[in-house]
């Protein structure tokens, strides 16, 4: 039993090491193909089982107010048309997968060498790099203390440390429904 615990602790250290090796890179795409490129990269990650090396793909969005026909509307708009952000461990395989995705023209950086984003460049994008430690784990019952699901109680089904999100099963219309909630919005019930 102790050996099993040892292995899981080693695996956890290995996972933390991989996460710390990962950086955010900017990928240039054909304009208007950002969401298609994101979907294609995510499908390739799933097919080639690269979940440990390519952690997240984002198309940064911002809310803007538009006035059309005298009506004010809030809409989502791409912050950087023609670009996609990828959080990945850079190696030959991951570079090849991303670079050869349909719609990708290349990585941002001098020549063919991708340059990771710095902390200062990531801050305005709302990308957190600090890892939050939490006092709950999968199977624990938690109370949601903020956001849309405030005052809801649910059981943690899955935790995504990279996104700082947990999937909870909450009761909605008389049936268990999975919802994704930020770690910051929940507390463990004692």
Q: Which domain holds residue 184?
A: 141-188
Total number of domains in the chain: 2
**For the chain, what is the mean pLDDT?**
81
Residue 155 in this model has a pLDDT that exceeds 60: yes
Tell me: do 37 and 121 sit in the same domain. yes
Buried b (16+ CB within 10 A) or exposed e, 177-189: eebebebebbeee
Beta-sheet pairing, 83-88 with 54-58: antiparallel
Residue 35 in this model has a pLDDT that exceeds 90: yes
How much is the pLDDT for 2? Answer: 47
Average pLDDT, integer, range 38-49: 92
Tell me: do 109 and 157 sit in the same domain. no
178: domain CATH number is 2.30.30.30
Tell me: do 146 and 64 sit in the same domain. no
Tell me: do 113 and 46 sit in the same domain. yes
At 128, the pLDDT band (50, 70, 90 cuts) reads low
How much is the pLDDT for 187? Answer: 84
183 and 138 Cβ atoms separated by less than 8 Å: no
């Amino acid at each position: 039993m102790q050996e099993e615990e040892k292995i899981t602790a080693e695996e956890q250290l290995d996972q933390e090491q991989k996460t710390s090796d990962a950086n955010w890179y900017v990928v240039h795409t054909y304009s208007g193909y950002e969401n298609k490129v994101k979907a294609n990269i995510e499908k390739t990650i799933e097919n080639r089982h690269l979940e440990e090396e390519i952690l997240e793909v984002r198309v940064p969005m911002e809310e803007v107010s538009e006035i059309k026909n005298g009506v004010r509307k809030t809409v989502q708009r791409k912050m950087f048309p023609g670009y996609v952000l990828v959080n990945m461990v850079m190696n030959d395989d991951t570079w090849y997968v991303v670079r050869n995705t349909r719609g990708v023209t290349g990585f941002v950086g001098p020549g063919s060498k991708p340059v990771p984003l710095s902390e200062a460049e990531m801050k305005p994008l709302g990308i957190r790099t600090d890892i939050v430690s939490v006092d709950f784990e999968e199977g624990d019952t938690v109370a949601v203390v903020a956001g849309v699901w405030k005052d809801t109680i649910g059981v943690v089904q899955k935790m995504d440390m990279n996104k700082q999100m947990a999937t909870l099963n909450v009761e909605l219309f008389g049936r268990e429904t999975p919802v994704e909630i930020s770690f910051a919005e929940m507390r463990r019930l004692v």
